[in-house]
Amino acid sequence: MASQRRFNEILSWFERENPVPKPELKFENPFQLLVAVMLSAQCTDKRVNQTTPALFQRFPTAAALAAASTDEVFALIKSVSYPNSKTEHLISAAKMIVTEFGGEVPSDIDSLQRLPGVGRKTANVVTSVLYDNPVIAVDTHVFRVARRLGLSKGTTPLAVEKDLTKGIPEAKRPNAHHWLILHGRYVCKAQKPFCGQCGLSPLCAHYKKMAPAKPGSKPIED
């Protein structure tokens, strides 16, 4: 795992640049957030935000969605990735929420992961955003950015999650989740990262390998 100094300096930079990060998915209640996060798997938030208004208008509650037909839901979410499987998961999850959780989205990670289509990442996102649960959800952006910055050498999402959990104080974890996602989405992109425009370049392990060292520079040692 990276040194605590590296974590502290990177977190301080994020706090200066974006002190109050917000999720880009649009939602008004726990049910809507859960649905939006489920739809966002391997799909852009922009596309999900274009899809959910009509879906939420037609099915405003878990009970309404639980009573929906596959054809009805598919017609409303067909523009997102993997609409067939997501349709089945949404309806099945809604049914379980109604029958086992009184129509309310469960607030703990273990219960959330019992819902069809809800894995560890989705459960972490939901509890972090709704309840400031001090967990780190690792999606492709977080995985990539954490490794590039030198915050983790983990080769699996769970390994990266464990490293980030150790290095990031509990109070900062909900914000850190958004910081890393947004940085990966707009700056530290998978194919063409904007290293020359990134304020974290002096702290970045990946950039250190790619760029020649400047005279007198003192790289962070882990």
Instruction: Report how far residue 207's alpha carbon sits from residue 93's, in angstroms, rounded to the nearest whole number.
Output: 42
Q: Which of 121, 163, 208, 214 is catalytic?
A: 121
Measure CA 150 to chain center: 19
Instruction: Report how far residue 49's alpha carbon sits from residue 4's, in angstroms, rounded to the nearest whole number.
Output: 37
Q: Which of 139, 163, 172, 192 is catalytic?
A: 139
CB 118 within 8 A of CB 106: no
Six-digit token string for 172: 């900062």
For the question of residue 218 being annotated catalytic, the response is no
For the question of residue 139 being annotated catalytic, the response is yes
Instruction: Report how far residue 91's alpha carbon sits from residue 62's, in angstroms, rounded to the nearest whole number.
Output: 9
Across the chain, how many H-helices and E-strands are there? Answer: 12, 0
Instruction: Report how far residue 91's alpha carbon sits from residue 86's, in angstroms, rounded to the nearest whole number.
Output: 9
Amino acid type, 74: F
Instruction: Report how far residue 174's alpha carbon sits from residue 83's, in angstroms, rounded to the nearest whole number.
Output: 29
Instruction: Report how far residue 164's alpha carbon sits from residue 159's, in angstroms, rounded to the nearest whole number.
Output: 9
Six-digit token string for 53: 């208004």
Which residues are known catalytic residues? 121, 139
